[in-house]
Amino acid sequence: MEITINGKEESMFGNPPEVGEQLPKFKLEDADGNKVKTADIIGRITLLSTVPDIDTPVCSVETRKFNQEADKFPDVRFLTVSNNTVEQQKNWCAAQGVANLQMLSDENLSLGYAMKLYLPNFGALARTIFIVDATGKIIYRQVVSEITNEPDYDDALNALKKVAKRVDD
């Protein structure tokens, strides 16, 4: 699958999983250095967004947006994954006051390769949003075709509203 970065075509490691497929097995690292495996994510509806670099403007805006939405969906786990180090993510979260979602590091590219979201020539993950049901089945997928663009938040949040209660509805 190809996406663009400032209009220049970049190839992904493969084709990301489709709606209806199970979340593949991968290992990430949380802010405390603990391993978070796919099995740890299953069991609850999850909105999983991947961003190339948390220290860039678009990634920062996206993550703050989902942080704001997370408290409106108390039954949903919001995860943002980048291949930044745990330390970079902790520093960013502290500086931005992000506490409603969980940042996970894919510094070892386990998720990037398992979900085919890694951009080898760019050295980072593609910008994507997946919604996964409690059984680990992918029920929504958005791969942002131009990495410098923000995702379609409304589309993702409307899909989430179909499967999870929002407190202000």
For the record, the structure tokens of 94 come out as 């502290």
For the record, the structure tokens of 110 come out as 């386990």
For the record, the structure tokens of 38 come out as 């796919």
Tracing tokens 């670099």 back to the chain, one arrives at: 53
Query: Is position 93 annotated as part of the catalytic site?
Result: no
Cα dist. 32→17, 29, 35, 62, 124 in Å? 29, 8, 9, 23, 22
How far is residue 25's CA from residue 103's CA, in Å, rounded to a whole number? 18
Report whether 132 contacts 138 (CB < 8 A): yes
Ranges of beta strands (E only) in 44-98 are: 46-50, 77-82
Half-sphere exposure of 15 (CA within 13 A, CB side): 3
Catalytic residue from among 36, 59, 103, 111: 59
Cα dist. 109→57, 66, 121, 123, 139 in Å? 22, 22, 14, 10, 23
Residues designated as active site: 59
